Amino acid sequence: MGKKIYIVEDDESIQDMLKIILEKAGYEIKIYSQGAGIFKDDYLLPDIFLLDRQLPDIDGLDICRFLKGKEDTREIPVVMISANPHIDELSKNAGADGYIEKPFSITLLLKTIRTFLQRQTPENVVL
């Protein structure tokens, strides 16, 4: 099994694109079309969260703050995805680990995910 990525994105075409690209890259994907699912705590923890900022039921930045405020999800990387021209500053203020501006390239998407997943992996474990 590959690393788990949880995506919160309401646009079905973007959901489909992310699913195809990320599954082809070997990741296990779970998609939420609304942010409310993340607040239920009835899921296994992923290795990274990708959050759209503008969702129909809640601001993705609020989801980020929620995740970063909980002990069990605090250390899991959160990457915001948005077309908002101020997403860099907004993401930092919400506690996100990074952001990707829409539209984005496949290369940037995969590189960003790999970068944050590598930061989680201990590089040299001595037993």
Taking the chain (127 residues) in consecutive chunks of 10 residues, what is each chunk's mean pLDDT?
Answer: 92 96 97 89 90 94 96 96 96 97 95 91 43
For residues 127 and 115, give the distance between their C-alpha atoms in angstroms, rounded to a whole number.
26
Tell me the whole-structure pTM to 2 decimals.
0.91
Strands in 2-126 per DSSP E: 4-8, 28-32, 48-52, 78-82, 98-101
Residues 11/55, Cβ–Cβ less than 8 Å: no
CA distance 29 to 78: 15
Write down the CATH number for the domain with range 4-120.
Answer: 3.40.50.2300
Q: How far apart are CA 17 and CA 12, in angstroms?
A: 9
- Domain assignments of the chain as residue spans, ordered by start: 4-120
